[in-house]
Amino acid sequence: MQLDQLKIIVTGAGRGMGAHFATQLANAGAKVAAGDVDVEGLESLPATVAKRKLDVTDETDCDAFVQWAQDELGGVNGLINNAGIIRDGLLAKRSRKTGELSTMSTEAWNSVLAVNLTGAMFMTRAFALNALQTEIASGVVVNISSISRHGSRGQSNYVATKAALAANTVTWSREFAPMRVRVGAVAPGMIETPMTQGMNQKARDTLVAGIPVGRIGTPQDIWCAVRFVLECEYFNGRTIDVDGGASMG
């Protein structure tokens, strides 16, 4: 599908990769509806982008957002599930300094699943229903997974969500085939975003040392892959790793 034919929703569009995707799409002539809980961040997007607060953990809000986008854009034929958070931590650990025992909190587990996975399901479900109601000619969903889906120490919650998104990319591509909707996923490695800029410098340096291309990725690197999924109408049900050649092993 050509970018200027898209009427597309981008979640988590207030900053980072989501803001970059929304901006690139708008610049390419797509009609874009951007949502995020960060309303101030949305204001930095181009004036041509339709903007509205969106809490992807609230199914009623997700349903309302898709209907709003349908009205604002004159239709909806695309969705990028980008909204995501991290709440890293080991499931159980002993402090080297004090010997104190601690675990990943249930809140940390549930909050990441609520945004990264359940939120993506809410949005995709509402998008699919809208596609059936409006009988769109064709459509596309892009899930933002992660190379962490292969397993990453200290990220049990995040890994669970990103692995599930990759698996559901296959599931949804099969379910949505009768309605002419493709589903693909892009799995970034370490990318320069507000989420990664807060990392411990030592941990950051260690991760960069394991990237064969010798640098952290940029939102533009990921946009190149997202654009491919959007435009290549023979791409479906697969996940593309974009990680500079790094391994999460």
Instruction: Tell me whether residue 145 is in a domain.
Output: yes
**DSSP one-letter string for the chain:** --GGG-EEEEESTTSHHHHHHHHHHHHTT-EEEEEES-HHHHTTS-TTSEEEE--TT-HHHHHHHHHHHHHHHTS--EEEE-------B-SEEE-TTT--EEE--HHHHHHHIIIIIIHHHHHHHHHHHHHHHHT-S-EEEEEE--GGGG--TTBHHHHHHHHHHHHHHHHHHHHSGGGTEEEEEEEE-SB-SHHHHTS-HHHHHHHHHT-TTSS-B-HHHHHHHHHHHHH-TT--S-EEEESTT----
Instruction: Tell me whether residue 167 is in a domain.
Output: yes
Instruction: Tell me whether residue 129 is in a domain.
Output: yes
Question: Which residue range forms the structural domain that includes residue 166?
Answer: 3-242
For tokens 């698996």, the residue is 167
For tokens 């493709």, the residue is 182
21, 65, 109, 158: which is the annotated catalytic residue? 158
Q: Is the pLDDT of residue 249 over 70?
A: no
Q: Which among 189, 88, 185, 193 is positioned nearest to 145, based on CA atoms?
A: 185
Percentage of the chain with pLDDT > 70?
A: 98
In the chain, the amino acid numbered 197 is Q
To the query of whether residue 158 is one of the catalytic residues in this protein, the response is yes
Instruction: Tell me whether residue 170 is in a domain.
Output: yes
Average pLDDT in the chain: 95
Distance separating alpha carbons of residues 115 and 56, to the nearest angstrom: 6
Instruction: Tell me whether residue 100 is in a domain.
Output: yes
Percentage of the chain with pLDDT > 90?
A: 90
Instruction: Tell me whether residue 132 is in a domain.
Output: yes
131-141 pLDDT tens trace = 999 999 999 99
* Rounded mean pLDDT, 81-90: 96
90-109 pLDDT tens trace = 999 999 999 999 999 999 99
What pLDDT sits at residue 195?
66
CATH number at 175 reads 3.40.50.720
The domain total for the chain is 1
In the chain, the amino acid numbered 168 is N
Q: Which two tokens stand for residue 42?
A: 């949305």
Instruction: Tell me whether residue 227 is in a domain.
Output: yes
Instruction: Tell me whether residue 247 is in a domain.
Output: no
193-236 pLDDT tens trace = 876 777 778 877 888 888 999 999 999 999 999 999 999 999 99
Q: Is the pLDDT of residue 114 over 60?
A: yes
Model pTM greater than 0.85? yes
